[in-house]
């Protein structure tokens, strides 16, 4: 149902038929004079210029998937702890997906959702700072739900809820349920349960503890993914010597 109290109580859901990107739309709205309430949700039926991390595109067949953005105002967090929000949102998504799919879900660093070796969803968080204060976070979430055909370029590495459950799902119901998980995780972050969230996040990292090939500065090297630093850098062990990396410095070799 759509009736629950709290941040995402359904009162501030704006559904758009067709929009380039819900993140862009929400950022535009934030730059206007009318203030938006924390918990505002921008949902798109058709998002035709969706964006992913590092300038990638996020493609979604109209009407089939969840493509939406949430407005959070994590002013209780020091901007230097931005990664904590990434962790809280990733944990919420992974827990929600695991309960929905009844199968293990991993988090491909920093925040892609994986089932086996296939990506089922992603998160794009865009932070808006005012000086040293964190004003707002635009949390964009894309989950493949009822789409079952993907372009050949990504098909082998992509999953959807329908491919796993073999049934169509009601998008509004899923979104309401997912928002509950996000809200719980976000309140947890506010109430200081960050350590537990980070532990869950680390334990669910895709390829944790496995020897895996990475590309570092274009060079292929084998290392064991061992965790993340406080600021969200990826830690990889090379012959028991740990190095940490920024997203621009390292890539998984698929
Ligand atoms: C990624 O895979 O790197 C992140 C994908 C994030 C996609 C969502 S869909 C809703 C929101 N609007 C966007 O343009 N992107 C995010």
Query: pLDDT tens, 120-173?
Result: 999 999 999 888 888 899 999 999 999 999 999 898 999 999 999 999 999 999
- pLDDT of 216 strictly over 80: yes
Q: Give yes or no for residue 39 CB within 6 A of ligand 1.
A: no
Q: Which of 8-12, 114-118, 130-134, 236-240 is modeled with the greatest confidence?
A: 114-118
Q: Closest ligand 1 atom, CA of 51?
A: 14
8 A C-beta contact, residue 220 and residue 213? yes
Q: Give yes or no for residue 58 CB within 6 A of ligand 1.
A: yes
pLDDT score for 11: 80
Q: Give yes or no for residue 21 CB within 6 A of ligand 1.
A: yes
What b/e sequence results for 75-99 when a residue is b if at least 16 CB atoms lie within 10 Å of its CB, and e otherwise?
A: eebeeebbbbbbbbbbbbbbbbbbe
Ligand 1 pocket, mutate which of 19, 23, 147, 174 (most atoms under 8 A from CB): 23
Q: What average pLDDT score do residues 15-37 get?
A: 95
- pLDDT of 183 strictly over 90: yes
8 A C-beta contact, residue 14 and residue 43? yes
Q: Give yes or no for residue 201 CB within 6 A of ligand 1.
A: no
pLDDT in tens, 162-171: 999 999 999 9
CA of residue 239 to ligand 1 center, whole Å: 36
- pLDDT of 26 strictly over 70: yes
Tell me how far apart the alpha carbons of residues 94 and 181 are, in angstroms, rounded to a whole number.
9
CA of residue 122 to ligand 1 center, whole Å: 6
pLDDT score for 5: 53
pLDDT in tens, 42-59: 999 999 999 999 999 999
CA of residue 115 to ligand 1 center, whole Å: 18
Q: Nearest residue CA, atom 15 of ligand 1?
A: 51
222: tokens are: 């084998």
Please state, for a pLDDT cut of 90, what percent of the chain lies above it: 88
For the chain, what's the residue count? Answer: 254
Q: Closest ligand 1 atom, CA of 53?
A: 3
- pLDDT of 4 strictly over 60: no
8 A C-beta contact, residue 50 and residue 57? yes
Task: Lay out the sheet containing 41-47: strands in order across.
Answer: 13-19, 41-47, 66-72, 133-143, 118-130, 112-115, 106-108
pLDDT score for 1: 37
Look over the chain and give the mean of its residue pLDDT values, rounded to a whole number. Answer: 94
């Amino acid at each position: 149902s759509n009736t629950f109290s709290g941040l995402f109580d359904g009162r501030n859901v704006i559904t758009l038929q067709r929009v380039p990107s819900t993140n862009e739309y929400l950022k535009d709205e934030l730059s206007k004079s009318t203030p938006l309430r924390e918990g505002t949700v921008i949902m798109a039926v058709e998002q035709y210029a969706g964006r992913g991390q590092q300038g990638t595109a996020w493609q979604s067949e109209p009407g089939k998937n969840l493509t939406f953005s949430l407005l959070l105002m994590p002013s209780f967090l020091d901007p230097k702890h931005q990664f904590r929000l990434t962790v809280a949102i990733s944990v919420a998504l992974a827990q929600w997906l695991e309960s929905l799919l009844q199968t293990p879900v991993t988090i491909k660093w920093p925040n892609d959702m994986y089932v086996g070796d296939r990506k089922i969803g992603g998160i794009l968080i865009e932070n808006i700072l005012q000086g040293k204060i964190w004003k707002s976070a635009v949390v964009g979430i894309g989950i493949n739900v009822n789409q079952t055909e993907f372009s050949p370029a990504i098909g082998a590495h992509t999953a959807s809820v329908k491919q796993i459950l073999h049934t169509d799902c009601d998008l509004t119901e899923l979104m309401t349920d997912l928002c509950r998980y996000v809200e719980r995780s976000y309140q947890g972050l506010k109430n200081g349960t960050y350590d537990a969230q980070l532990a869950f996040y680390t334990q669910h990292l895709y390829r944790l503890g496995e020897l895996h090939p990475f590309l570092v500065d274009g060079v292929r090297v084998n290392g064991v993914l061992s965790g993340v630093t406080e600021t969200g850098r990826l830690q990889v062990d090379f012959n028991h010597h740990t190095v940490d990396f920024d997203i621009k410095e390292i890539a998984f070799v698929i």
